[in-house]
Chain A
Amino acid sequence: MSTALGDRHENYLNVDSSVKSWLLTTDHKRIAILYLLAATLFFLVGSVFAGLIRLNLMTPYGDLVQAETYNKLFTMHGITMIFFFLIPSIPAVLGNFLIPMMIGAKDVAFPRLNLLSWYVYILGGTFTLVAATLGGVDTGWTFYAPYSTVYANTNVIVTALGIFITGFSSILTGLNFIVTIHKLRAPGMKWSRLPLFVWAHYATSLIMVLGTPVIAITLLLVALERGLHLGIFDPALGGDPILFQDLFWFYSHPAVYIMILPSMGVVSELIACFSRKRIFGYEFVAASSLAIAILGFLVWGHHMFVSGQSVYAGMVFSLLSFLVAIPSAIKVFNWTATMYKGSIAYDAPMLYAMGFIGLFTIGGLTGLFLATLGADVHVHDTYFVIAHFHYIMVGGAMMGYLGGIHFWWPKMSGRLYPEAWSRAAGLILFVGFNLTFFPQFILGFLGMPRRYHVYPPEFQVLNVMSSAGATILGVGYLIPLIYLLWSLRYGPPAGPNPWGAKGLEWETPSPPPTQNFEKTPIVTEEAYAYAPTEAEVG
């Protein structure tokens, strides 16, 4: 092991390779790797569920699994992917690894809390996996009452508690990032010089800290109601099921911004590096992250336009939902403008970044359909919604994650991965993704409801297309898994800065030493200072 990883100099990986040193580490970089391993495991589990779903939907008659099993599959797929993969992924893996380095610090503000957050994540995940082995849960990841609190016959309480516990991991991560970014910046690292990756994580952390406690109390109440028959959300006992939806979506809408903002931060870094140019409109991109975080808390009712919510409330939520879309559009325009007159390289991270721009744009635009009241009535709770959020979560967040993993892989592992395979995988993923999810927009327009394990035969052609795409997508995910692992042993050693990128993390060896910097850096230039501006030259 010690000969394979970073053998040339002492670094965070080879400084001590005992199991105890890993399980009791307070080094943010090792914690990031621990998260990487766990998150990848959860991703694989969630993907298996997805594969079974798409297999079942190849025929209209539910030939693969029974209804109850199918209902558990889509529920567990959603829960695993959202709470155990997407929400932690970029922040806990890339954020943990990079934020201290990007700001010139030795670690996060509270390294022991950081380790605690990983253990809490593992504990919550264990609860949920135990629930899965006990037969799973079939309420949908949205746990709507009174089905979840009264009528479901599955392991609701254990799963709810598992997610409740995992929420604390999110809170601790967000808390750590906020304090780290405020207090541990190196001299000269002003807010206006921070990489946009850091700005994105700051905004994300605000959401994590403000929103997660609300889902915590919501799930706690679901568990209590189910266990003690209290009557908070059960109309038969005087409760209000729509209040559950309000409480649930108050967190779960901002949660989607927890899932997308970090990958937008990654994309900013990738576009800057592979255009070799400062991000156009830096302040606007940074401000957009904050605007999304704030406005994101005001739009939850757009999930409830046909729930029986007041028509006037619906109008307010619709208007605000349009407003929250604007900052995302601003980012896309600024990234595109960055490429103008840049020096564009086609390395895998850039392919992922460009793929993100395309797919996120489609995902975001289709969000407008859902924000439009009169249109949402038709497409709500259909495959249109599924397509929309997969474009954002997979076409957006996942692409950003993979782009980031590829970009910082040399830094984290000290190895280079095979370039040709990485570009091929990127292309396969792009094709497979579109084939999987674009037909689902049409299925939604045609009226196919979501969470159906059987469907009218006229929907079969589009479903088969989608399932075929899913196979290609699966292959696309396996390829990087293989060559990235391969690179750990056989990849050529990476230098400190294989991409010629700007950023404090690239001024350290690959892999970096435990304390990141020999001496605290002093920052004198703006972010992405690849070349001086006209003004600065003259």
Chain B
Amino acid sequence: MHPRRRKLASIDSPLQHHFVGLEQQHEASTLGMWVFLVTEIMFFGGLFTLFTVYVTIHAEAFAEGSKHLDLLLGSVNTAVLIGSSFTMAMAVKSAQLGQRKPLLGFLVLTMFLGCVFIGIKGIEYTHKFEQHLVPGRNFHLDSPVAQNVQLFFSFYFAMTGLHALHMVIGVGVLTWLLVHSWHGRFSPTYFWPVEVSGLYWHFVDIVWIFLFPLLYLVARHA
């Protein structure tokens, strides 16, 4: 037997002592992640609600702010993220089927796409800095509603920044999964860390699906 495989054979069961069986542990992990995602919905939801109120009150200013956003880069990022959700789903499937190499491949692909997303976001942020649209001392705009445009950008940075932070954490989680997959930790009887991380990743994707239209599209035509 390959030396690494021999080492795997002696890995202790992933069953944690307070669970009666792996099935219970699986169900608990899944429910736990769903509950956590609900808290994230409330967190982003509060921010989104506030934004929606302001887009109604300051329609013109928010439309003007939205026009400064790069629709092309935003759309590319949307495609990137949707693609990464696909690769993540494939990773989960590979883990369920115990296919180590595809699992590793899809995880790496997902991480790569995540980094592309973050990179493009970085480019957008840099542009905004150059265009003097970062709220605070950097901000300068010649417009009768400049102040409310600054408010738009406060929301832009808060919402996309929070989202990007969640992406970075997601990439961190994927790294952890990568390491464990490399050591052959996952199998058809123990794969749900991948599954549950997939739930998180899909959620971060869905947040963007709401964020993109709200910031880039709806506000533009307000």
Contact of B46 among A100, A105, A184, A214 (CB under 8 A): A214
When distances are taken between beta carbons in the complex, the residues of chain A under 8 Å from B53 are 240, 243
CA distance A518 to B43 in the complex (A): 42
Tell me, yes or no, whether A531 is within 8 Å of chain B by CB.
Answer: no
Tell me, yes or no, whether B8 is within 8 Å of chain A by CB.
Answer: no
Contact of B154 among A174, A217, A228, A240 (CB under 8 A): A228
**CB contact list, B136-187 vs A, under 8 A:** 136, 147-148, 150-151, 154, 158
When distances are taken between beta carbons in the complex, the residues of chain B under 8 Å from A221 are 47, 50, 158
Say whether B35 contacts A178, CB under 8 Å: yes
Which of B26-34, B73-81, B85-93, B98-106 touches A? Answer: B26-34
Say whether B38 contacts A210, CB under 8 Å: yes
Contact of A209 among B16, B39, B158 (CB under 8 A): B39
Contact of A184 among B24, B40, B148 (CB under 8 A): B24
0/1 per residue, A103-134, Cβ < 8 Å to B?
00111111100000000000000000000000
When distances are taken between beta carbons in the complex, the residues of chain B under 8 Å from A217 are 43, 46-47
CA distance A175 to B31 in the complex (A): 9
When distances are taken between beta carbons in the complex, the residues of chain B under 8 Å from A218 are 46
CA distance A340 to B136 in the complex (A): 66
Tell me, yes or no, whether B121 is within 8 Å of chain A by CB.
Answer: no
**CB contact list, A199-233 vs B, under 8 A:** 209-214, 216-218, 221, 224, 228-232
Contact of A212 among B39, B147, B151 (CB under 8 A): B39
0/1 per residue, A403-438, Cβ < 8 Å to B?
000000000000000000000000000000000000
Say whether A183 contacts B147, CB under 8 Å: no
Tell me, yes or no, whether A171 is within 8 Å of chain B by CB.
Answer: yes
Say whether B46 contacts A238, CB under 8 Å: no
Say whether A231 contacts B150, CB under 8 Å: yes
When distances are taken between beta carbons in the complex, the residues of chain A under 8 Å from B27 are 183
- Distance (whole angstroms) from the CB of A51 to the closest CB of chain B: 36
A111 — nearest CB in chain B belongs to which residue?
A: B18
CA distance A199 to B98 in the complex (A): 40
When distances are taken between beta carbons in the complex, the residues of chain B under 8 Å from A336 are none
**CB contact list, B53-89 vs A, under 8 A:** 53, 57-58
B42 — nearest CB in chain A belongs to which residue?
A: A213
Q: Are A228 and B38 also in contact (CB < 8 A) when A238-B147, A243-B50, A243-B53 are?
A: no
- Distance (whole angstroms) from the CB of B128 to the closest CB of chain A: 14
Say whether A232 contacts B154, CB under 8 Å: yes
Tell me, yes or no, whether A496 is within 8 Å of chain B by CB.
Answer: no
Tell me, yes or no, whether B20 is within 8 Å of chain A by CB.
Answer: yes
When distances are taken between beta carbons in the complex, the residues of chain B under 8 Å from A224 are 154, 158
- Distance (whole angstroms) from the CB of B102 to the closest CB of chain A: 29
B158 — nearest CB in chain A belongs to which residue?
A: A224
**CB contact list, A228-247 vs B, under 8 A:** 228-232, 237-240, 243, 247
When distances are taken between beta carbons in the complex, the residues of chain B under 8 Å from A108 are 18
Contact of B151 among A109, A111, A178, A238 (CB under 8 A): A238
CA distance A209 to B58 in the complex (A): 32
Say whether A247 contacts B136, CB under 8 Å: no
Which interface residue of B19, B32, B57 has the most chain A CB atoms within 10 A? B32
Say whether B57 contacts A240, CB under 8 Å: yes
Say whether B31 contacts A182, CB under 8 Å: yes
CA distance A213 to B43 in the complex (A): 5
A228 — nearest CB in chain B belongs to which residue?
A: B136
- Distance (whole angstroms) from the CB of A130 to the closest CB of chain B: 24
Tell me, yes or no, whether B135 is within 8 Å of chain A by CB.
Answer: yes
Say whether B24 contacts A183, CB under 8 Å: yes
Tell me, yes or no, whether A520 is within 8 Å of chain B by CB.
Answer: yes
CA distance A238 to B60 in the complex (A): 13
When distances are taken between beta carbons in the complex, the residues of chain A under 8 Å from B19 are 184
When distances are taken between beta carbons in the complex, the residues of chain B under 8 Å from A326 are none
CA distance A490 to B39 in the complex (A): 46
Tell me, yes or no, whether B112 is within 8 Å of chain A by CB.
Answer: no
When distances are taken between beta carbons in the complex, the residues of chain A under 8 Å from B147 are 231, 237-238
B20 — nearest CB in chain A belongs to which residue?
A: A520
Say whether B36 contacts A175, CB under 8 Å: yes
Say whether B18 contacts A237, CB under 8 Å: no
CA distance A410 to B36 in the complex (A): 35
Tell me, yes or no, whether A179 is within 8 Å of chain B by CB.
Answer: yes
CA distance A216 to B46 in the complex (A): 9
Tell me, yes or no, whether B2 is within 8 Å of chain A by CB.
Answer: no
Say whether B46 contacts A106, CB under 8 Å: no
Say whether A209 contacts B57, CB under 8 Å: no
- Distance (whole angstroms) from the CB of B38 to the closest CB of chain A: 6
When distances are taken between beta carbons in the complex, the residues of chain A under 8 Å from B18 are 100, 105-109, 111, 184
A229 — nearest CB in chain B belongs to which residue?
A: B136
- Distance (whole angstroms) from the CB of B192 to the closest CB of chain A: 13
Which interface residue of B38, B40, B50, B147 has the most chain A CB atoms within 10 A? B50
Q: Are A214 and B32 also in contact (CB < 8 A) when A106-B17, A224-B158, A231-B147 are?
A: no
Q: Are A179 and B32 also in contact (CB < 8 A) when A111-B18, A213-B43 are?
A: yes
Contact of A213 among B17, B46, B58 (CB under 8 A): B46
Q: Are A214 and B43 also in contact (CB < 8 A) when A230-B135, A230-B154 are?
A: yes
CA distance A171 to B39 in the complex (A): 8
When distances are taken between beta carbons in the complex, the residues of chain A under 8 Å from B50 are 221, 232, 243, 247
**CB contact list, A152-208 vs B, under 8 A:** 171, 174-176, 178-179, 182-184
Contact of A183 among B31, B57, B136, B154 (CB under 8 A): B31
A230 — nearest CB in chain B belongs to which residue?
A: B154
Contact of A231 among B32, B45, B151 (CB under 8 A): B151
When distances are taken between beta carbons in the complex, the residues of chain B under 8 Å from A247 are 46, 50
Question: Which 3 A-B pairs have CB atoms at the shortest separation, nearest pair first?
Answer: A213-B43, A107-B18, A213-B42
**Beyond A238-B148, A515-B17, 15 additional pairs, beta carbon < 8 A:** A106-B18, A111-B18, A175-B32, A175-B35, A175-B39, A210-B42, A213-B43, A214-B43, A217-B47, A224-B158, A228-B136, A238-B58, A238-B151, A239-B151, A243-B50
* CB pairs A–B below 8 angstroms (25 shown): A110-B32, A111-B18, A171-B39, A175-B39, A179-B31, A182-B31, A184-B19, A210-B42, A212-B42, A213-B40, A213-B42, A213-B43, A214-B43, A217-B46, A221-B158, A224-B154, A228-B135, A230-B136, A232-B50, A240-B57, A243-B50, A243-B53, A247-B50, A515-B17, A520-B20
